[in-house]
Structure 1
């Protein structure tokens, strides 16, 4: 049932031009632009900043924005209400609806990493890199579900997601100036990527920061998420 819902949701996502462009095209273009603007002898620090930017763009657009826009749209056209009238539980419905953006996010992140390594980026340490992807995805899923409760349409998602999107992108500053920016939602991702590429710092504090944000947004999602229009 989850797979059937996921296939249907993927088709709906790709049919929505706003979501498709923002979730699929934008992260790829920004990621390629960031990579091509680095010199051939770029330092590990420079590559850490670039990889952090690439991953946060994927998480921000492909996961966070897509989840917010999709759930808001499905709620307003009563699709969520119709799904709940069937045999599927709430958990199964959400898993089926969120699975496509997780898959797209993982594929785009892998593509960005392969492109960057082929252009000369150091191979990141796998453990902190995987932690950044998994915890960052969890953060953006929880935040997307929460924000969708304050969003009435996929078009309005371009406005309601902006504050947190900027806070996510602030995680790049961790790779530039250090842990001062770690408390931001994207700070944990920036700290883990910086550690994975340069070996500097540690992974425990950034991971703990992400876990705190995941718990916070999960609580907000439980309080704000609505299955039907008001």
Structure 2
């Protein structure tokens, strides 16, 4: 048994099996809170704790799946290409919306960190919460955060966005498909984008675009915004 656990095959098999179970649960429950990411993550954590398996052993295989995050994000360019005319027609509004969303995300983290009296390293770890994981990890390292905490935060934000994004859009009367997609992609990255794709092709395409631009804008804006508000 130990020899199997110590091989990359274990982490890959456990991840795929847990996600498959998560998909089945989601189809049965039909509730956002039971989306495959939440369910599969919970299953993996409980399994590792139950059988006292180290995260290092699990990551020998899981890291292969993590590596695919980059290519998977790039694939989102396909639906965007199909909606290229909408991008051209709304380019100013889209770029402005993403920029404002990124600044709001950064400032809100800094403000809440100060209000709650959190250690600055925790605040810095949470700053990349709204961008995709590969970019968020590197940004966290650059600004002195804790990458592991950043990953947890990104996952939580993505799942929250997946669960409540459509409700929030309805609550504030956001009906334009482009606006819905941009808001979801900017605030809750790839997990939110999966929800946007369920809403429609336009929403999914705009959300996919927002993932990449929000990541780039956040990397560029974080040092400037945090210095302006004296957070670093």
TM range (shorter): 0.3 to 0.5
User: Normalising by the residue count of structure 2, what TM-score does the alignment of the two structures yield?
Assistant: 0.37
Structure with more contact order per residue of length (Cα contacts < 8 Å, sep ≥ 6): 1
**Of Structure 1 and Structure 2, which has the larger fraction of its residues in helix?**
2
Q: Which has the larger radius of gyration?
A: 2
Q: TM-score normalized by structure 1?
A: 0.37
